[in-house]
Structure 1
Amino acid sequence: MNPVLKMWQRAAAYPLGKTVFSRVVCHRAPYFASIQPVLEELDTGWAVAKIKDRRAVHNHIGSVHAIAMCNLAEFCAGVVSEASMPDGMRWIPAGMTVRYLGPAKGVLRGYAKMRDIVVGEKGVVPVIVEVKNEVGTVVFDAEIAMHVSPKK
């Protein structure tokens, strides 16, 4: 089993484990801390994380800023990529295409899906992320191209 996924499963079993795990990710990649994400689900090829609607992530019209949603999308995509990597493989974001589909208010959740990675093959693997509001309306979506290659 992937070591990150194993760590997640261990941490998620404790009352504050998901929050602690999320903070460890933010410590490793500090910019994510600006949105204070909390990972809620993680499995091979699947991740869900949430952010709260708070003033620190607002734009000038009082909704969640577009870049905060980009940050949530990249957080979800990065965690699912790390948890889905087979032994001997690594990843790095290669590009991101986003669409802003509506005003983002309230608690937002990012849902990331990643297709299977072929061990030993170099290539680009898309991670699709949808950000939904509390009633389940998609307010933002992204496709993040992950460059995957064997570790040297």
Structure 2
Amino acid sequence: MAKPNPLRQFALKANKYPSFISRRLMTAMFRHTVKLAGTAKLDILASDLTSVTFQIKNRKRVQNHIGSVHAAAMGLLAESATGFIVGVNLPGDKLPLIKYMNLKYVKRAEGDMKAEAVLTTEQIALMQTEEKGEVLVQVKVTDANHIEPVICEMCWAWVPKKK
């Protein structure tokens, strides 16, 4: 039997609260665990544990020289959203690892950015049953105008945790 996943257990408990409390709880937990996410002030807006929506506000500390969200911050946003959704769906005895990410910047971004990452039921089943493996996680990053300024491909792998 698979070992319980503490991240999943926390998210399930957090989702029992009203959404404004749930998102604050999950955001605080994620920022505490992933220090760079705390520095950039990423927010978790919602998650049903098969999908998640993250946001980064267009603040001075994450801006580039033209006043929009920096390319590296967009990468952090996509990587965090996909990492979270993989993390909540792995058994507790598995370790998620980013294998690669491809980012293609196609338009200038404006305003705050959002990333929505989704796993299919087939991907979740694979993660629950295979000792090791990898999945391409679907993620869409949009700006304040609902334009997709960066096309992302995120490949996550998992391996057994060392004892």
Tell me which interval the TM-score lies in, with the shorter structure as reference length: 0.7 to 0.9
Counterpart mapping for 1:8-27 below 5 A: 8-12=11-15, 13-14=17-18, 15-27=20-32
Structure-to-structure mapping, 1:3-152, within 5 angstroms: 3-12=6-15, 13-14=17-18, 15-114=20-119, 115-116=123-124, 117-152=127-162
Give the secondary structure class of the aligned counterpart of 1:138: coil
More helix by percentage: 2
- Give unmatched runs, 5+ long, in structure 2: none
Instruction: Give the alignment's TM-score, normalised by structure 1.
Output: 0.86
Structure with greater strand percent? 1
CA contact (8 A) 2:101 2:155 kept: yes
Q: How many residues align?
A: 152
Point out the more displaced range, 19-28 or 94-103: 19-28
Of all paired residues, the percent bearing the same amino acid is: 26
The answer on whether the counterparts of 1:89 and 1:119 sit within 8 Å (CA) in structure 2 is: no
Q: CA deviation at 1:43?
A: 3.0
The farther-off stretch of 64-73 and 10-19 is: 10-19
- Checking the alignment, whether the CA contact within 8 Å between 1:50 and 1:108 is kept in structure 2 is yes
Could you list the structure 1 runs, at least 4 aligned residues long, displaced by more than 3 angstroms after superposition: 14-17
- Runs of at least 5 residues in structure 1 that lack an aligned partner in the other structure: none
- Counterpart secondary structure, 2:69: coil
SS in structure 2 at match of 1:148 = strand
Return the TM-score normalized by structure 2. 0.81
2:90 and 2:128 in contact (8 A); partners too: no
In structure 1, distance between residues paired with 2:117 and 2:82 = 6
- Does the CA-based 8 Å contact 1:109-1:131 persist in structure 2? yes
